[in-house]
Structure 1
Amino acid sequence: MPVVRAVVTGAAGFIGSHLVQALVAGGHDVLAVDAVERAGSREAALANRAELAQAGIAVTEIDLATDDLSRLAGADVVLHLAGRPGVRSSFGPGAADAHRDNVIATERLLAACRGARFVLASSSSVYGSAERPCAEGDRIDPLSPYAASKALAEQLAQANGAAVILRYFSVYGPRQRPDMAFHRFIEAALDGSPAPLYGDGRQSRSFTYVGDVVAATIRAAQVPLPAGTVLNIGNPHTVGVRDALDRIGTLLGTRPPTVAKDAAPGDVTRTWAGTDRAAALLGWTARTSLDEGLAHQISWHRARRKVAHG
């Protein structure tokens, strides 16, 4: 990967922290950037930052929506993973946060880093609910303020002329945020406290392991691609939420207890990744099975709980 300097935003986040570690392990010069106070989970971001610090990786505190971004200029590649996550939390007052952290921040970062190769982390939520594998040329149908903000960020990146857009699908694995489904389900199984199950549990997702997502993101920074290329980064096999609960139960020896909740606003029935373009242009496909990835995530939860409980 011929990169002299890489900027990674969202570096203390779930995916970003893994990406920073992989780039540093590959010998690259990385400026890791995050704003902990804007994180989807401040506690998780601080824990990730501490883990990066133990590996000798410092995270620079920068709020992309308000701070001076001149120190980010001159990067060869910008891997933009920062943003306000969460479909459910983006309704009501959360819509302004989603616009601030996903749209305004992206616009300012693009302006500050003109000339750099720009890789934007977007979301499968821009498609809405899928009836078949989503292809990158399909019409988008964002059903939440969060999804709409990601679609606007994509438009800004497309107008920039040097960007590659990656639409991540339902990422899971070690360091997953506490508000995300697998984190809640695994913790519920481990401590016996019911986790919320939104809707009837028949929703299905292209669950994609974080290590596979990191590999695709690095490939997107390596491989020459036409400006404005959009790529789905996901597992092409959809799995139902209830099936995933059963798999977690099998791996842990006890099925996670749940409490029924109404379907959340903006929650789609299915995500379904069509990944032919990523395979053709990046030489990438998701390689980690759901059972294998869940086993890795469960190991992380157990290790984390062991440390917390002494």
Structure 2
Amino acid sequence: MRVVVTGAAGFIGSHLVEALVAGGHDVLAVDVSGRGATQHRAELARAGVTVTECDLAADDLAPLADSDVILHLAGRPGVRGSGGPQTWRDNVTATRRLAEACAGHGTRIVLASSSSVYGSAERPCGEDDATAPLSAYATSKLAAERIVRRGGCDGVVLRFFTVYGPRQRPDMAFHRFIEAGLDGVPAPLFGDGGQSRSFTYVGDVVAATVRAALVPLPGGTVVNVGSPVTVTIGDALDRIGRLLGTTPPTVTKDVAPGDVACTWAGTDRAARLLGWTASTGLDDGLARQIAWHRGRRRG
């Protein structure tokens, strides 16, 4: 299968490219020049993959349409600091141009969206539940979803729930907490730690994304990709401390505007359509992420 991965040098994208190559697929890895960690690009190079530089919001995208499926992970991530024209450009304009380039080619686009489109959950969120984005980031992801679902391409939307694991972005909570525990330098803790999340291991997310590329799905399908178990950030911090053997120091900060109190994945559709459920427990996933942090320090 000919697969394009956008955002290939990112946290999830680099894992996804490696899995596809290992599965024998013909992969074109695409990212913006300078975007993504240099280490991720080096790891992909060791796997025999060169990242092709492409700005989806400005460059010619016709070559990308010559593929069976595009796994579209590129975009500007994160609720904190989102907003302004750059978020819209990278998440919405880029997706619109990609959908336009693929229209009429029969190319499936699988869009990586976000649980943030639901707003704050009080129960497991189903894909047909009302959306209530509370941030510019969430609004941009919902707009990108609508483009893919209505843009004349074979669009599928995956809503990712708080992904963690090796190569996690430095701005994300587990990365900050683990580094704080290893360095003894306090990491920011936004709020009182009572917010809860469906933390989902990156390997599980990659498995679901590959399934979405391979399994026949009706155009416009939306699927949650997340753990059905919610855990508070405070509990996760305690688990990290137990695994490290030391409590990561933190300094309390105000909750960022648009940061939801709870994400909670309803997973029935993923099990039914993709044959997928998250299989990695939080302690096991955190142990793997901690091992990666320690490995980086050893060089």
Relative to the length of structure 2, the TM-score reads 0.97
The alpha-carbon deviation at position 36 of structure 1 amounts to: 3.7
Whether 1:12 and 2:31 are equivalent positions in the alignment is no
| Cα separation, 2, equivalents of 1:136 and 1:98 | 24
> In structure 2, what is the equivalent of residue 234 of structure 1?
226
| Cα separation, 1, equivalents of 2:135 and 2:176 | 22
Which residue, 243, 248, 252 being the options, matches 2:235? 243
> In structure 2, what is the equivalent of residue 76 of structure 1?
68
> CA RMSD for the aligned pairs?
0.9
Runs in 1 of length 4+ with deviation above 3 angstroms? Answer: none
The alpha-carbon deviation at position 148 of structure 1 amounts to: 0.2
Q: Is the 8 A contact 1:103 1:152 kept in 2?
A: yes
Q: How do 1:47-196 and structure 2 match up within 5 A?
A: 47-91=39-83, 95-114=84-103, 115-161=106-152, 162-196=154-188
Which residue, 283, 293, 309 being the options, matches 2:285? 293
| Cα separation, 2, equivalents of 1:217 and 1:184 | 26
| Cα separation, 2, equivalents of 1:13 and 1:110 | 21
Q: Is the 8 A contact 1:88 1:264 kept in 2?
A: yes
Q: How do 1:196-211 and structure 2 match up within 5 A?
A: 196-211=188-203
| Cα separation, 2, equivalents of 1:130 and 1:110 | 30
Q: Is the 8 A contact 1:205 1:271 kept in 2?
A: yes
Whether 1:35 and 2:38 are equivalent positions in the alignment is no
Unaligned 5+ segments in structure 2 are none
The alpha-carbon deviation at position 86 of structure 1 amounts to: 1.1
Q: Is the 8 A contact 1:12 1:36 kept in 2?
A: no
Whether 1:255 and 2:247 are equivalent positions in the alignment is yes
Whichever residue aligns with residue 28 of structure 2, its letter is L
Unaligned 5+ segments in structure 1 are none
Whichever residue aligns with residue 123 of structure 1, its letter is S
Q: Secondary structure at the match of 2:110?
A: strand
Whichever residue aligns with residue 294 of structure 1, its letter is L
The alpha-carbon deviation at position 133 of structure 1 amounts to: 0.3
Q: Is the 8 A contact 1:75 1:113 kept in 2?
A: no
The alpha-carbon deviation at position 196 of structure 1 amounts to: 0.1
Q: Is the 8 A contact 1:81 1:120 kept in 2?
A: yes
| Cα separation, 1, equivalents of 2:38 and 2:100 | 28
| Cα separation, 2, equivalents of 1:216 and 1:164 | 12
Q: Secondary structure at the match of 1:259?
A: strand
> In structure 1, what is the equivalent of residue 298 of structure 2?
306
The alpha-carbon deviation at position 160 of structure 1 amounts to: 2.1
Q: Secondary structure at the match of 1:177?
A: coil
Q: Secondary structure at the match of 2:132?
A: coil
Whichever residue aligns with residue 225 of structure 1, its letter is L
| Cα separation, 2, equivalents of 1:231 and 1:151 | 14
| Cα separation, 2, equivalents of 1:36 and 1:255 | 38
**Percent identity (aligned):** 72
> In structure 2, what is the equivalent of residue 21 of structure 1?
18
Q: Is the 8 A contact 1:128 1:143 kept in 2?
A: yes
Relative to the length of structure 1, the TM-score reads 0.94
Q: Say if 1:290 and 1:36 are closer, same or farther in 2 by CA, change over 3 A.
A: farther
Whichever residue aligns with residue 258 of structure 1, its letter is T
Q: Secondary structure at the match of 1:67?
A: coil
Q: Is the 8 A contact 1:6 1:77 kept in 2?
A: yes
The alpha-carbon deviation at position 234 of structure 1 amounts to: 0.1
How many residues get paired? 296
| Cα separation, 2, equivalents of 1:170 and 1:272 | 10
Residues 190-228 of structure 1, C-alpha deviations (whole Å, 9 max, x = no match): 000000000111000000000000000000011111110
